[in-house]
Amino acid sequence: MAINSVKMYISEKNLIYNMEYLKSNFNKEVLAVVKSNAYGHDINLITKLLYKNGYKNFAVARLVEAQKIMLNTSLSQAEILIFESIGKDFLNIIKEAIEYGILPEKIQIKIDFGFGRNGITLDYLEKLKKYIEKKNLFFNGIYSHLFAVCHRDGLKIIKKFEDVVNFLGKERFKMIHLQNSSAIEKYGSLDITTHIRVGMVIYGLQGDGFFDKNLRQVFSLRGQIAGIKNLESSNYIAYNLKSNLLINNSKYIAKVKFGYGDGFLKVNENTKCLINNKEYNITLITMDNSFIEVDENVKEGDEIIFYPDISFSVPILNMNIYELLVIITSRVEKEIVDEIK
Ligand SMILES: *Cc1c(COP(=O)(O)O)cnc(C)c1O
């Protein structure tokens, strides 16, 4: 059995707490975005936990991600929205799909306000309305993307979206959604929507331009010190001269089995980790190991925590949280725990 490895612990309690908080605070259902391996948290674990607690609506970016969820037979009632487009001529695709026999209750219509990713553009709206009314269709949902960074432009898109939904018939759509994490923090609860479509906040991650103290980080990356080396008798740390690396001139270096092969990039060098509740400097990161400058208090087997609060790492590393987390590789074992101490 492997010892002293770093694992990603997933707190069921924090995840469900965030879901309940979002639901009651914004008074909306939550469409949980679990793309990119649930933002590095493991799509299988996260969908399993959400499903078990009654949350059965998931959204992903790609077809292969949806297939991954569908392979899990214990999630048979899950409803999965895939953002990826399957062609360019959206109105005809919808028509073809329906004529082919796909139920409109399985289809969500995406409206494109100029973000240009995918969806029906406004010039096709009349035709879409005629088609929907002629066939008297009721859909699983309608949505768009609130891409504007500037508040006033955002309000304009919200207004346009409302107009489109009302024009097509609000009652024809079971789910209506527009906002991702930063948009719920910016614009609050919108009358027109039934759901918020969020990733970041369900994992308790703080994003660009918003901070919500009620959210709880769901993951915890922790392991044990695999070994301590006394530097008095050696000039080297891994393949490097210690004189080039040490910033505190420490006497001891601790080795931890966590490196860029696990997705812990070298940009994390000279940031801090926590050992026995004290901060220490991460001096060197190799493919398989990280080396930490420590003092005589740190012993082999002591617990070490990486990214204790990942929002603090973002300004230091000049990378966003999404990037930092989705690159955590499958070599890092993920494990569900009720609570993180
Ligand atoms: C990724 C994504 C989301 C979720 O974004 P967060 O910022 O993580 O909340 C919502 N909608 C679409 C279309 C997305 O691609």
Q: Whose CA is nearest to atom 15 of ligand 1?
A: 61
Segment 148-170 shows an average pLDDT of: 93
Is any ligand 1 atom within 6 A of the Cβ of residue 28?
A: no
Q: Is the pLDDT at 15 greater than 80, yes or no?
A: yes
**pLDDT score at 84:** 87
The secondary structure of residue 261, as a DSSP letter, is G
**Percent of the chain with pLDDT strictly greater than 90:** 74
- List, for residues 309-329, the tens digit of each pLDDT value: 888 888 888 888 888 888 999
Segment 127-144 shows an average pLDDT of: 97
**Against a cut of 0.85, is the pTM above it?**
yes
Is any ligand 1 atom within 6 A of the Cβ of residue 255?
A: no
What span, in angstroms and rounded, lies between the C-alpha atoms of 260 and 301?
A: 21
Is any ligand 1 atom within 6 A of the Cβ of residue 181?
A: yes
Question: What separation in Å is there between the alpha carbon of 50 and the centre of ligand 1?
Answer: 17
Segment 146-167 shows an average pLDDT of: 91
Question: What separation in Å is there between the alpha carbon of 289 and the centre of ligand 1?
Answer: 33
More confident residue, 4 or 268: 268
Q: Is the pLDDT at 88 greater than 80, yes or no?
A: no
In the block, tokens 């487009």 appear at: 85
Segment 184-196 shows an average pLDDT of: 96
Ligand 1 atom closest to 83 (CA) = 13
Tell whether the torsion through CA atoms of 304, 310, 313 and 319 is positive or negative: positive
What span, in angstroms and rounded, lies between the C-alpha atoms of 291 and 293?
A: 7
**pLDDT score at 1:** 62
In the block, tokens 């220490």 appear at: 280
Question: What separation in Å is there between the alpha carbon of 202 and the centre of ligand 1?
Answer: 11
> Mean pLDDT, the chain, as a whole number?
92
Our CA dihedral for 272, 273, 279, 284, rounded to 10 degrees, sits at -60
Is any ligand 1 atom within 6 A of the Cβ of residue 15?
A: no
Q: How many CB atoms lie within 10 A of CB 272?
A: 18
